[in-house]
Amino acid sequence: MDFDVIYKEFSPRIFRVCLGYINNYDKAKDLTQDTFIAVWENLAKFREDANIATWIYRIATNKCLRQIENENRSKKIAVAPFMEIEDHVDDNKEAKHHFLRDCIAELPEMERLIIGLYLEDLPQEKIAEIVGMSHANVRVKVHRIKEILTKKFKTNGQF
C-alpha cells in the first residue's frame, strides 16, 4: 500500500474526527499528524485482511482518547469548531453550520465521535468497530443524537 495515497484519502476525514474529539483546531492537526506517523511506522505490520479505514480510525480514536485523558487530568479542555466550513456558503447556511458545530461541541466526547464518524458517511457497522460498541448500540446512539440536535435546531428556530 502506498502511504501517500492513504494519507491523501484519509487525512481530511481523520482531521475532522480529531477535531470532533478535541474541539481545538491546532491540537486536531497535531493528532492527525501523530495518527499518520503511527500509520507510517506500522503500515508494514498492517494485516490486509482487515479494513484499512477502520484501522486508521482506530489509531486516531486511541490518540484522541489519550489526549482527552491528559487534558482532563490538567483541566485544560478547550472548545473550538467541530468541522471546517467551506469558504463559499451563503450566510444562512453558514449560520446553521456554526450552530450545528456548537451543538455538537456540547455533546459528550463519545457522542461527538459517533456523530462525527456518521457525518463522514461511515457505515454504522464501521463506527461500531471503531468505538468498540455493538452495531445496535451505535444505531440507537445515532438516533438519539439526531433527536437532540433536531430539538436544539427547532428550539433555536434554525428549522
- Relative orientation angle of helices 135-155 and 109-119, to the nearest 10 degrees: 90
User: Residue 84: left if φ>0, alpha if ψ -120 to 50, beta else—which one?
Assistant: beta
Entry pTM:
0.57
Tens-digit pLDDT profile for residues 124-136: 888 888 888 899 9
Tens-digit pLDDT profile for residues 77-133: 333 344 443 444 455 666 777 788 778 878 887 888 888 888 878 888 888 888 888
CB-based contacts of 122-128 (< 8 A; 24+ apart in sequence)? 122/53, 122/57, 126/51, 126/53, 126/54, 126/57
- N- to C-terminal Cα distance for the chain? 45
